[in-house]
């Protein structure tokens, strides 16, 4: 059973600070990892993808992956009120059989306080 765990929050961060979002996954065969942002009533929007151990930076966002610890995180620097949303961690596993789709966590609700 593939599982992706996230703290549901809410996580409250002051404007301009760093927001740190965490995710753990159960399947060691997981090979690709994604962070999506979802505003209330909207569909998920891709923020970052990461495939290899280490850090990947894109603007104010940094994704960190540690496959040994089965842990992936997202850092948001200089947090803005527009970053207030639910952040979904998603994992893709290729098990050698058919497609398994993305396995999502329940999401972390992030609130940036002005």
Rounded least distance, CB 6 to another protein, Å: 8
Among positions 10, 15, 66, 94, the unique one binding another protein when judged by CB under 8 A: 94
Q: Is 114 in the site for another protein (CB under 8 A)?
A: no
Question: Exactly one of 18, 52, 106, 113 binds another protein (CB under 8 A); which one?
Answer: 106
Which residues, listed in sequence order, are joined to residue 91 by a DSSP beta bridge?
33, 103
- Residue 59 is given by DSSP the state T
C-beta of 62 vs 109, nearer to another protein: 109
Least distance (Å) from another protein to the CB of residue 15? 26
Dist CA 89 CA 6 (whole Å): 8
Distance between CA atoms of 77 and 60, rounded to whole angstroms? 5
- The rounded Cα 30 to chain-centroid distance in angstroms is 14
């Amino acid at each position: 059973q593939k599982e992706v765990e996230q703290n549901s929050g809410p996580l409250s961060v002051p404007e301009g600070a760093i927001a740190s979002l965490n995710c753990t996954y159960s399947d060691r065969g997981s090979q690709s990892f994604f962070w999506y942002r979802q505003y209330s009533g909207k569909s998920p929007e891709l923020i970052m993808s990461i495939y290899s151990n280490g850090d990947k930076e894109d603007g104010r966002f940094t994704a960190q992956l540690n496959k040994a610890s089965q842990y992936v995180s997202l850092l948001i620097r200089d947090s803005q009120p527009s970053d207030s949303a639910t952040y979904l961690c998603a994992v893709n596993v290729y098990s050698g059989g058919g497609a398994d789709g993305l396995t999502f966590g329940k999401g972390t609700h992030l609130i940036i306080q002005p």
